[in-house]
């Protein structure tokens, strides 16, 4: 790449960069659609749209790095855009989902995950230099869908929500799937399998009750926690460090 290329991106590069930003921003529209489905009381369709949002977030960073959006469009902060959309889809939408399924007792406790994640998203060291999340990474969408599929009662569900909210403030390292230095392929294939499994359960509720789809869907979250504990050094002397 010449010096001119590095300072003056071509029209095609600019167009691609805008397309990537539009793709990321589309996650906000998906959040709106999900909330509309929840207002209509259609939990299955809402769950499917939550998975669409998760899928968008899983690949938009790869697209952004491939196109080098930071260089091509320096006036647009892609990280800030991603955080805004993520806060909608990882916090606000799943908390509304939890309220809709009656998983919070009392409902006023919905404020807890929102406030905890507001803190988590605002931390400068929320992502470490070695490619981890520091503190529980506000995967409220994964938690909400798991509670719904397994059919966990409100008291246990509320307990899980409170524990996870507390873990936002505990500086343990959690793997960042797209930034992993080892087991990246295994972890991302596992995430894909989880998305497909949950989508199947949401799309075909009858089969969900006939097969142990809910129980199988818990395998990947358990794997994620285990890998985070191992690679993040939770049990090493001195604990994890940013």
Q: Which domains are present in the chain?
A: 3-231 (1.20.120)
Give the highest mean pLDDT range of 65-74, 138-147, 232-241: 138-147
- pLDDT, residue 226, reads 96
pLDDT of residue 151: 92
Give the residue with greater pLDDT, 169 vs 125.
Answer: 169
Does the pLDDT value for residue 201 go beyond 80? yes
Is residue 147 very low, low, confident or very high in pLDDT (cuts 50, 70, 90)? very high
Q: Is the pLDDT of residue 142 over 90?
A: yes
More confident residue, 237 or 54: 54
The mean per-residue pLDDT over the stretch 205-231 comes to 89
Residue 125 pLDDT: 84
pLDDT at 124: 85
Categorize the per-residue pLDDT at 224 as very low, low, confident or very high, splitting at 50, 70 and 90.
very high
pTM beyond 0.85: the answer is yes
Q: What is the mean pLDDT of residues 61-82?
A: 91
User: 2: pLDDT confidence band, cut at 50, 70 and 90?
Assistant: very low
Q: Which residue has the higher pLDDT, 179 or 4?
A: 179
DSSP, residue by residue, the chain: --HHHHHS--HHHHHHHHHHHHHHHHHHHHHHHHHHHHHTT-HHHHHHHHHHHHHHHHHHHHHHHHHTHHHH-TTS-HHHHHHHHHHIIIIIHHHHHHHHTT-SSSGGGGHHHHHHHHHHHH-TTSB-TTSEEES----HHHHHHHHHHHT--HHHHHHHHHHHHHHTTS--EEE-GGG-SSSHHHHHHHHHHHHHHHHHHHH-HHHHHHTTHHHHHTHHHHHHHHHHHHHTTTTSTT----
Q: Over pLDDT 90: what percentage of the chain?
A: 76
Of the chain, the percentage scoring pLDDT greater than 70 comes to 94
Residue 48, C-beta contacts closer than 8 angstroms, at least 6 positions apart: 199, 202, 203
| pLDDT score of 48 | 97
Q: Does 173 have pLDDT greater than 90?
A: yes
Q: How confident is the model at residue 202 (pLDDT cuts 50, 70, 90)?
A: very high
pLDDT above 80: residue 241:
no
CB 80 within 8 A of CB 73: no
Q: pLDDT band at residue 88, thresholds of 50, 70 and 90?
A: very high
Q: Return d(Cα 113, Cα 142) in angstroms, integer.
A: 13
Q: How does strand 132-134 pair with strand 173-175?
A: antiparallel
Predicted local confidence at residue 214, as pLDDT:
87
pLDDT at 61: 87
């Amino acid at each position: 790449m010449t010096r001119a290329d590095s300072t003056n991106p071509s029209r095609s590069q600019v167009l691609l960069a805008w397309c990537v930003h539009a793709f990321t921003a589309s996650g906000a529209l998906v959040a709106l659609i999900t909330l509309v489905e929840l207002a209509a009381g259609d939990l299955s369709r809402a769950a499917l749209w939550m998975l669409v949002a998760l899928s968008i977030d899983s690949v938009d960073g790869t697209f952004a790095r491939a196109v080098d959006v930071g260089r091509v469009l320096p006036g647009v902060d892609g990280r800030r855009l991603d955080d805004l959309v993520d806060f909608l889809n990882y916090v606000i939408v799943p908390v509304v989902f939890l309220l809709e399924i009656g998983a919070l007792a009392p409902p006023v406790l919905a404020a807890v995950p929102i406030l905890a994640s507001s803190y988590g998203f605002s931390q400068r060291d929320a992502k470490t230099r070695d490619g981890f999340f520091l503190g529980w990474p506000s995967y409220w969408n994964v938690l909400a869908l798991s509670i719904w599929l397994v059919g966990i009662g409100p008291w246990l569900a509320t307990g899980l929500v409170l524990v996870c909210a507390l873990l936002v403030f505990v500086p343990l390292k959690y793997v960042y799937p797209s930034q992993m230095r080892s087991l990246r392929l295994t972890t991302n294939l596992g995430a894909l399998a989880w998305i497909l499994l949950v989508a199947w359960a949401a799309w075909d509720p009858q089969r969900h009750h006939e097969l142990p789809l809910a129980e199988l869907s818990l395998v990947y979250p358990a794997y994620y926690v285990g890998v985070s504990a191992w690679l993040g050094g939770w049990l090493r002397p001195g604990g994890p460090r940013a």
